[in-house]
Structure 1
Amino acid sequence: MKIRKRWSMMLVLSLMMATLVGCSASSNDTGNAAGDSSSKGGTAPSAGAATTKLDPVTLKIILPGDRPADMDLIIKEAEKRMADTINVKLNLVFVPWSDLAQKTQVMLASGEDVDLIFDAPWLHMEQMISAGYYEPLEDLLSKYGQDAVKVRSEQMFNANKFQGKIYALPLGNTHLAGRTYLVRKDLREKYGLPPIQTYDDLIKFAYKVKENEKDVIPLLAYGQAGQKDVSWGAFRAFMEYDPQILRSDALGQSLVLYYKNNDGKVYNLFDEMEPRVWSWIEDARKLYTDGLIHPDILALKDIDSVINSGKIAVAVYNEFGVPSSMSAAVAQNVPGAELEAVTFIQTEKGKNITNFKQANFQAIPKVSKNKERAMMFLNWTAQKENYDLLAYGIEGTHYEAVGDDQYKQIGTNYSYFPYAWIWNPTMDRLNAGFDEETIKHYKFNKDANNLTTSILTGFSFDPSPVINEISLYNATEDKYYSALFDGAADPNETWAKFKKEGEANAKKIQIELQKQIDAFLASK
């Protein structure tokens, strides 16, 4: 294990801001920089446009999900805008969500030539950092990332350090992630049911669909190993309180190790099953055996396409509101079908605990030969015209701007996905088609003062002392977790097997995590 010095974040950000405000353009082995940014979308290696055209560089960028149909058009326009400044070409490689954890880990471990890569704490961020695969970004941000810093709050950077350093650019547009049930509004109204206000209302609707719609599956969640936090039962943790159950810093999406309320303790389901969690598992089992949850839940890989078919009554979704692409696809595939967003996250001030950490990140691997240019590109994306292009597509073709902060999507050939590579709270637009309640949630959660700050804000878990235990535990959990929380296996039998195989490694991880938390809290 390499020893890493802990740098002061405040000093780093001060240096960045000083560079942004007053420093002269710097020069390095990639070319010289100056202050001319007159060309559309232009940005210099440090602050303006290049005085001499840089040699072309192709950046290999690893992104999750499916390649949008018109991605090539967007890349062509982006490269045109960058040609006279940072002169970057884009080689975007898309990896299916279901294969993301394994394939990206293999890429990094094998030293594959990659310049930017998506990662997340729920994926394998801490493990990849401990393995030494990612470049610390302080110097690169200071020299080439002034705009990328400016569009993110100091609080956002402070809360998203790993082992005391910035190892990846945090991606997010609020301080609390949205969680939603996408509901077939037309079917709800068809049965004369009022707007859904509670989880019981949701399930009542699902049973009504089961009784009356032979071609519609009532409930859909995710069943793949890399998507455990959006399994049916586990998803409920995002929307229920008393106690407020939060995922730990050690096991990403898993609830086996968890925090409860805001007491700084690490709890372990293998030590004592949390009654609330067990109720979610049992509920999922009943819904599955009653034929409400999709029977092939563990085998489905492309959940979005299943939702888009219009043959799902309720589906879980990791954002507030109904995405335009899904709304359009459902209406196209089932004339008259309409989705509405239902969330049980409360907007009472102080009700929700957060450590202000973001769920998604963009990292620069150490093997990259184009680290400076990769940061220049991230900086370029933090300018409004460029952000709009990569987030929403070509104006008039893929989207219509509505004022400075909203948009309407046109067609389905370029779907919204800034969350995978460029997301920031300053440039991000809200969907103009969002309902009033969804807009309320976004605005509420953009204000940090509306949330309760976790006592673990700023804490970063170093997994290196238990990296082998984490690897072994994750392999065990992948066999049982989704089956449990999606109701596809008998709870008692499955939990007994899971506990027998995973308990010892989970305990070692828990002890190490608690040790680090105690040290962190003692140092505050």
Structure 2
Amino acid sequence: MKKRSLWRKAVSLGMSAALVFSLAGCGQGSTDTSGNAGTSGSTEAETDARETAEQAADDGEVITLKGFTMGNEPASGMDAFYEQLDAMTVKDLGIKVRFDYIPWGDEKNKINLNIASGEYDLYVGGNFSDYKVMATKNAFLDLKPLLSEVPDLVAHYSVVSDKTLESCEIGGKLYGIPQFGKATDSVMAGEGFMYREDLRKKWGLPEINSLETMEQYLYKAKDEYPESSVVMDNRIWSAVWNILAAGKYLELDSYMNTPYTVVAADDPYTVIDRTQTPEYKTMLEYMTKWYKDGIIDHDILAASANEGNKIAELIKADKKVTATNSPAWSLTATVNEIARNNPEWEMGWFDYGFGKAPIYLPSVSSATCISINPKCKEPVKALQFIEKAHTDQAYYDLLRWGVEGENYNRQDGNITTAGIEASNVKPSWTGLVDGYMETEIPSENAYWQEQMDATRVTPEEFSPLDGFIFDASSLSSETAALESVKAQYMTPLLCGVTQDMDGDYENVLAQLKKAGIEKYIAEMQQQLTAFQEKKAAD
């Protein structure tokens, strides 16, 4: 798509979003934010909507859809949240929606169990789950035939390209509505290393801008904070890989979904065995050294798939001073809480890829998605609820932030969580975040915000891999065997748990070959070549 067309569409949507926001603001201006939705502060329209919801419930006319989302349920505000949500959904769609919360940590297994239970209508999934694998097994409803029922949603996703939703398809089917990043003037901080900059200065260490300077900080942190392990995340290998590989390789998916393969940045249509690259071997050398020296926790293999919450709590309690495997956006709440309780701390950020790897327009092909159960009794209404969440500012703000006065406040018209207890900050409905509906909230830590702003750019092109989704449905036996090899042989080596790195590495290569890695790569190459040819033809 030409830049002029992209800009014209972005401006058009921006004006529409501003209009929706202003209208939503008028409707919310008199809304009681104390959680007592039945008080005299309610508007006549809100009262009518509430009475409609109550009457419909009494008559047994309203079907309740059930969904799950990630994070911890806020300590307060949920009664008011559902009261406000019901007032809108019953009036607009004739349904109610209720959410269960899944705390981060072993989330993949928990999500799989929730989907297997069959009790949910609305699912969420992304690179932290088996979303793409389960999609190929028809675990989710194909939404493509229903898109005519949600024209506003389709128009909304067409702001960047008419093929935005198409690029999220798997095998010609649309299994979820993806999270939607804004294409212009965006903070592009990705995954990186969070640390205490004030301590770095105190300890006389060099500025952290490389693997070597990061390593110096890790070793000093081990000496100064011996009560907790420096590295507690078993994905630490990916941090070192990302530093070593930045600008050299592109991921075909996420490293969690395709840990065996990459492509070269200058040859993006030829699949490479990641495990046989020189950077992979160098990464293993760091892992072995760090585990031996006690930088990596010696019980690392017992860690969950995501120790982010545990690590954040230790950092806030001044018992730990590093986080190695968190994307910048996921640290927002932690940094804000630190700013309130320890304003003198300077939270530093070393981004593993920014400035070294190319920056592309946001892709939805690998984004977190909201999906619908194929057995949902009201699939159209479920999809229309997702449409409302992405196109109606009142819906978006409620589902994204919660109840004003309970879960967030407004300051000069902008949303802020300042003054809200950390336990009351509501996690967004996972997969909802939409750059074109979002109110950007500056961090309460000015130093942190300065670092985030340093990554603010406006990308001008899509990744050459945008829209490529590997379909491994024909490789069920191979993928199962490869997963077994990863669990039994690769993961210990990737965490540095080895007495003979070279020998264990050669054994991993042998086990991968035995499990069918060559067939796996050949199938991926065939699909990637077909993708390249189709892209050239289009």
Report the TM-score when normalising by structure 1.
0.78
Structure 2 CA distance for partners of 1:485 and 1:188, relative to 1, 3 Å? same
SS for the counterpart of 1:63 is strand
Structure 2 CA distance for partners of 1:284 and 1:405, relative to 1, 3 Å? farther
CA contact (8 A) 2:245 2:279 kept: no
CA contact (8 A) 1:148 1:378 kept: no
2:168 alignment counterpart: 160
Structure 2 CA distance for partners of 1:404 and 1:170, relative to 1, 3 Å? farther
Q: Residue 86 of structure 2 aligns to which amino acid in structure 1?
A: E
Residue 100, structure 1, aligned to residue 104, structure 2:
no
CA contact (8 A) 1:118 1:361 kept: yes
Pairs aligned (count): 469
Q: Residue 89 of structure 2 aligns to which amino acid in structure 1?
A: M
Distance 1:103 1:346 in 2: 32
SS for the counterpart of 1:448 is coil
1:389 alignment counterpart: 398
Distance 1:499 1:404 in 2: 57
**Greater share of helix residues, 1 or 2?**
2
SS for the counterpart of 1:196 is coil
2:310 alignment counterpart: 305
User: Among 234, 239, 242, which residue is 1:235 paired with?
Assistant: 239
Q: Residue 285 of structure 1 aligns to which amino acid in structure 2?
A: T
Q: Residue 165 of structure 1 aligns to which amino acid in structure 2?
A: K
CA deviations on 1:52-97 (whole Å, 9 max, x unpaired) are 9793221221223433333624334323443422243333233344
Distance 2:272 2:360 in 1: 17
User: Among 325, 339, 358, which residue is 1:351 paired with?
Assistant: 358
User: Among 430, 436, 441, which residue is 2:450 paired with?
Assistant: 436
CA contact (8 A) 2:189 2:452 kept: no
SS for the counterpart of 1:94 is strand
CA deviations on 1:138-191 (whole Å, 9 max, x unpaired) are 343331362475166444434322223322111143576721211123322332
2:296 alignment counterpart: 293
Identity over the aligned pairs, expressed in percent? 20
1:143 alignment counterpart: 149
CA contact (8 A) 2:73 2:426 kept: no
1:258 alignment counterpart: 262
Deviation (angstroms), 1:389: 2.3
Residue 499, structure 1, aligned to residue 506, structure 2:
no
Distance 1:249 1:309 in 2: 31
2:498 alignment counterpart: 489
Structure 2 CA distance for partners of 1:412 and 1:283, relative to 1, 3 Å? same
Structure 2 CA distance for partners of 1:171 and 1:262, relative to 1, 3 Å? farther
1:245 alignment counterpart: 249
1:202 alignment counterpart: 214
Residue 521, structure 1, aligned to residue 532, structure 2:
yes
Structure 2, gaps ≥5 residues long? 1-8, 17-23, 32-44, 47-51
1:369 alignment counterpart: 377
Distance 2:429 2:158 in 1: 14
User: Among 120, 123, 130, which residue is 1:114 paired with?
Assistant: 120
Deviation (angstroms), 1:513: 0.9
CA contact (8 A) 1:134 1:363 kept: yes
CA contact (8 A) 2:359 2:459 kept: no
Q: Residue 376 of structure 1 aligns to which amino acid in structure 2?
A: Q
Residue 129, structure 1, aligned to residue 135, structure 2:
yes
Distance 1:114 1:380 in 2: 19
CA contact (8 A) 1:360 1:419 kept: no
SS for the counterpart of 1:420 is coil
CA contact (8 A) 2:70 2:427 kept: no
CA deviations on 1:107-142 (whole Å, 9 max, x unpaired) are 54x571321111225632332222122222234333
2:97 alignment counterpart: 90
Distance 2:189 2:158 in 1: 16
Which stretch shifts more, 275-284 or 401-410? 401-410
Distance 2:154 2:77 in 1: 23
Distance 1:98 1:475 in 2: 21
Distance 2:159 2:492 in 1: 39
1:215 alignment counterpart: 227
Q: Residue 374 of structure 1 aligns to which amino acid in structure 2?
A: A
Report the TM-score when normalising by structure 2.
0.76
User: Among 426, 437, 444, which residue is 2:436 paired with?
Assistant: 426
2:190 alignment counterpart: 178
Distance 2:77 2:516 in 1: 43
2:407 alignment counterpart: 398
Structure 1, gaps ≥5 residues long? 1-13, 22-35, 44-48, 224-230
User: Among 461, 475, 480, which residue is 2:484 paired with?
Assistant: 475
Distance 1:507 1:125 in 2: 24
2:368 alignment counterpart: 360
User: Among 422, 426, 434, which residue is 1:412 paired with?
Assistant: 422
CA deviations on 1:195-248 (whole Å, 9 max, x unpaired) are 42222222212222222333353334x32xxxxxxx112123444456522333
CA contact (8 A) 1:160 1:458 kept: yes
Distance 2:493 2:180 in 1: 30
Distance 1:327 1:251 in 2: 26
